[in-house]
A and B are shown apart, each in its own frame.
Chain A
Amino acid sequence: ILNVEQSPQSLHVQEGDSTNFTCSFPSSNFYALHWYRWETAKSPEALFVMTLNGDEKKKGRISATLNTKEGYSYLYIKGSQPEDSATYLCASPQGTGNQFYFGTGTSLTVIP
């Protein structure tokens, strides 16, 4: 199994701070890189699906970048709010592309 890895494992920030997390993935035979947000007692929800090297996507205060040659993606949150508290997961298809592996996630807590 080729691993999708995320760091840090957890993060506590003050309301208003900006923050970022890292996802690393195998760069060979790249298909796509997904970011999901998983709030407590809810289902994971897709934030971004990224397929092109150099891609940058934005949704409100959240943005993500992708480097497929070196196998990493960054997720940025600008001006964190308490409602941003969640676990942020990245995932990438592996092997034949059928096995869709998730990283262990970054747990973000925004302190009011």
Chain B
Amino acid sequence: GAGVSQSPSNKVTEKGKDVELRCDPISGHTALYWYRQSLGQGLEFLIYFQGNSAPDKSGLPSDRFSAERTGGSVSTLTIQRTQQEDSAVYLCASSLVPVNVRKGVGELFFGEGSRLTVL
């Protein structure tokens, strides 16, 4: 399809295990964002990729979280030694231009999310 694709859609894991979440953005979109929504909370910014520039990791909650984006396209969010508080829906979004381009559209297109449950 032409939209943002995320996998897996659901993941149940045991505390202490590592998980990988994948995001395949819309072709040609240079900007990619990861967010998470914990139960009862809003969308929490995690990390931002723009082209080949160094990512903005300022939203990652701990050093157990990391992300990469290969070839400016697919991104993987990795959570090491998962904890119960990591349980959330992880959303990926891409945009044609960065949101801080004043004259640009920059709207985000979201995937359907990966629901992570840590037992």
Which residues from A are CB-within-8-Å of B111?
A: 43
Are A31 and B41 in contact, CB atoms less than 8 angstroms apart?
A: no
Contacts from B to A (Cβ < 8 Å):
4, 33, 35, 41-43, 45, 48, 50, 56, 58-59, 91, 93, 98-103, 105-113
Q: Would you call A62 an interface residue if the criterion is a C-beta within 8 Å of the partner chain's C-beta atoms? A: no
Classify the interface of chain B: helix, strand, loop or mixed: loop
| Number of A-B residue pairs with CB-CB distance less than 8 Å in the complex they form | 72
Q: Which of A15-23, A73-81, A98-106 contacts B (4 or more CB under 8 A)?
A: A98-106
Are B99 and A104 in contact, CB atoms less than 8 angstroms apart?
A: no
Q: Would you call A66 an interface residue if the criterion is a C-beta within 8 Å of the partner chain's C-beta atoms? A: no
Are A102 and B100 in contact, CB atoms less than 8 angstroms apart?
A: no
Count of chain A residues with a beta carbon within 8 Å of a chain B beta carbon = 25
Q: Which residues of chain A in 76-112 are interfacial with respect to chain B, using CB atoms and an 8 Å cutoff?
A: 89, 91, 93, 95-105
Closest chain B residue to A42 by CB distance?
Answer: B112
Q: Would you call A49 an interface residue if the criterion is a C-beta within 8 Å of the partner chain's C-beta atoms? A: yes
Are B103 and A102 in contact, CB atoms less than 8 angstroms apart?
A: no
Give 26 pairs: A residue, B residue, CB < 8 Å, sorted on A. Answer: A31-B100, A32-B99, A32-B100, A34-B99, A34-B106, A34-B107, A34-B108, A43-B91, A43-B111, A43-B112, A43-B113, A46-B108, A51-B103, A89-B42, A91-B99, A93-B99, A93-B100, A95-B58, A96-B100, A98-B56, A99-B59, A100-B108, A102-B35, A102-B42, A102-B43, A104-B41
